[in-house]
Copies of this chain bind each other. A is one copy, B any other.
């Protein structure tokens, strides 16, 4: 059921009021400037000659400055205040029209609304834009410039320190980025602990205490599963993945498989970068990048599927949200749930490889001649020890995140000194993963995030896994065709459910509201634990 009045954001907004119209015009201009800057960043990583780095940084800084001025402009504050009042008056007027249809929808299913109503989108737009502007105002120009300078230096120091496995060289820079993050948390403001303020920028409404509860509960279930695999599991080998795989054929297979998981090349583009990412410049231009390892097929295979998941989300936000801050994923965690859904729940499923292993074999006949679909499926689900997060299996990956969350929360909270961070890292690795890093490059220096002062981001990776499993469980409960489809490698029923219940809403609903609407209850670890128990029990032939 489509509400005929849901295109208000595609008008000039004057039917709501003059201030709303002025605001909408400014929001669109800001969107376009932001997309131009985004394209410059994409191009820098995909096409640009390295010699142009400084020039491009300058150009992007200019666009950022223009965007900042357009955002903090005092008139925008006036328009926002007026637009709130205009939207309230207008909302009361349309109530009479919409109430009947809405109530009918809500009765049918509290989890699946028929479509976005105008009042919902207008309210969400005002909420998100106000938040964006408030955040921009909270950080003084002096702080933003100092952060750019210090974290730029920290990033460069980290690159060298990781290469040399030299923790003492990085330690003073980590002190800078921790101090910056603590200062930033203070500028944003928080109720309970500073880490909450940082986490909230990536996962609106999530708190450190809630993450702790979720991670504790998940760890309590996943550690015994991992031990059971090691103790009782049948042998699983990942050797088949580590062979010479021609880059050209890897690219051909990536182009073959991406549309089969729902990625629309007609509104996309596949590029090559060292660090894969997805990036969108409009709903009709959502791009992915992949890296190609000539001796290991997993990075391109699962990297492509992962970025497809991100891009599919953005390709399917509702067109009525175009050119507003609502036309994107609602949070880092929900975004990650979509990439993990395609990478792991779909791409590492038995049904997927039963359906597609033949095509993979035809791309790599000699490498895969003596492997069966089921053997390949087990290989891509091999669970083993790993010092490096990005090389970890689906199960162990979450433990890497648990470790980082504990450490960075303590660093930001002031209960762990930077001077003690390396020892704390190694102790936590021993504690959670039962191993000691051989050196700091395989330990505290492995990730880029802390050098860029990106504290608060790590938890969203594991939250993404939990969200993905909970969404998948709800989808299978709502429609038997979802699981039946995946058994045959057909993702269309799953995608249809995700389009309806997640993708089209963009940033209209904050993550906590979205997950309740889509699954009927708040996020918990239960679905992921059930999913992991079933899947790895299957892979490893457990009890």
Which residues of A are interface residues toward B (Cβ below 8 A)? 28-29, 32-33, 35-37, 39-40, 43, 47-52, 54-56, 58-59, 62-63, 65-66, 265-269, 271, 281-285, 287, 322-323
CA A332 to CA B121, docked complex, whole Å: 49
A58-B285 contact given A49-B265, A66-B29, CB 8 Å threshold: no
- Cβ contact within 8 Å between A267 and B51: yes
Asked whether B269 lies within 8 Å of A55 as measured between CB atoms, the reply is no
Bound-complex Cα distance A492 to B269 (A)? 39
Distance of A282 Cα from B47 Cα, bound (Å): 14
Contact of A284 among B39, B49, B282 (CB under 8 A): B49
- A271-B29 Cα distance, complex, nearest whole Å: 30
Contacts of A54 in B (CB 8 A): 284
B-side contacts of A55, CB under 8 Å = 281-285, 322
A36-B40, A40-B36, A40-B39 are known contacts. Are A285 and B49 too (CB-CB below 8 A)? yes
- If A39-B39, A55-B281, A285-B56 touch, whether A62 touches B268 (CB-CB below 8 Å) is no
Considering the complex, give the chain B residue whose CB is closest to the CB of A62. B32
Q: Which 3 A-B pairs have the closest CB atoms?
A: A55-B282, A32-B62, A52-B285
Closest Cβ neighbor of A34 among chain B residues: B59
**Chain B residues whose C-beta falls within 8 Å of the C-beta of A29 in the assembled complex:** 62, 65-66
Interface centre among A40, A48, A55 (most CB of B within 10 A): A55
Q: Which of B47, B58, B269 contacts A269 (CB 8 A)?
A: B47
B28, B32, B59, B268: the one contacting A281 at CB < 8 Å is B59
- B32 lies within 8 A of A58 (CB): yes
The residue of chain B having its C-beta at the shortest distance from the C-beta of A65 within the complex is: B29
Q: How far is the CA of A29 from the CA of B60 in the complex (A)?
A: 11
Residues of B within 8 A of A33 (CB): 62-63, 66
Q: Can you name the residue of chain B whose Cβ is closest to the Cβ of A29?
A: B62
A353 to B63 CA separation, bound complex (whole angstroms): 47
Complex contact A56–B282 (CB within 8 A): yes
Which residues of B have CB within 8 Å of A282?
52, 55-56, 59
Q: A43-B39, A281-B55, A285-B55 are in contact. Are A269 and B49 (CB under 8 A)?
A: yes
Output the nearest chain B residue to A55 by Cβ-Cβ distance. Answer: B282
Instruction: Name the B residues within 8 Å of A40 (CB-CB).
Output: 36, 39
**Within the assembled complex, what's the spacing in Å between the Cα atoms of A47 and B52?**
19
CA gap between A51 and B266 in the complex, in Å: 7
17 A–B contacts, CB within 8 A, in A order: A32-B58, A32-B63, A33-B62, A33-B66, A35-B59, A36-B39, A36-B59, A36-B63, A39-B39, A47-B269, A48-B285, A51-B266, A51-B267, A51-B285, A52-B284, A54-B284, A58-B323
Closest to A323 in B: B58
With A33-B62, A36-B63: A49-B323 Cβ-Cβ less than 8 Å: no
Across the two chains, which residue of chain B brings its CB closest to A28? Answer: B62
Q: Which residues of B contact A284 (CB under 8 A)?
A: 49, 51-52, 54-55
Q: Are A281 and B52 in contact (CB under 8 A)?
A: yes
Report the Cα distance A35→B51, complex, angstroms: 16
Contacts of A266 in B (CB 8 A): 49-51
Identity of the chain B residue whose Cβ is nearest the Cβ of A59 in the assembled complex? B32
Q: Which residues of B contact A43 (CB under 8 A)?
A: 39, 43
- 10 extra interchain contacts, Cβ-Cβ under 8 A, other than A32-B58, A55-B282? A29-B66, A33-B62, A35-B59, A36-B39, A39-B39, A49-B266, A49-B284, A52-B281, A52-B285, A55-B283
Q: Which residues of B contact A37 (CB under 8 A)?
A: 36
Expressed in whole angstroms, the Cα–Cα distance for A266 and B39 within the complex equals: 21
Complexed CA–CA distance, A55 and B59 (Å): 22
Least distance between A63 CB and chain B CB atoms (Å): 6
Write the nearest CB–CB distance from A246 to chain B, whole angstroms.
15
Complex contacts, A65 vs chain B, CB 8 Å: 29
For A36, give its contact among B36, B47, B285, B322 (CB under 8 Å).
Answer: B36
Q: How far, in whole Å, are A267 and B51 apart by their CA atoms in the complex?
A: 6
CA distance A284 to B48 in the complex (A): 9
Give Cα A49–Cα B35 distance, bound, in whole angstroms.
15
Q: B residues within 8 A CB of A59?
A: 32, 35-36, 281-282
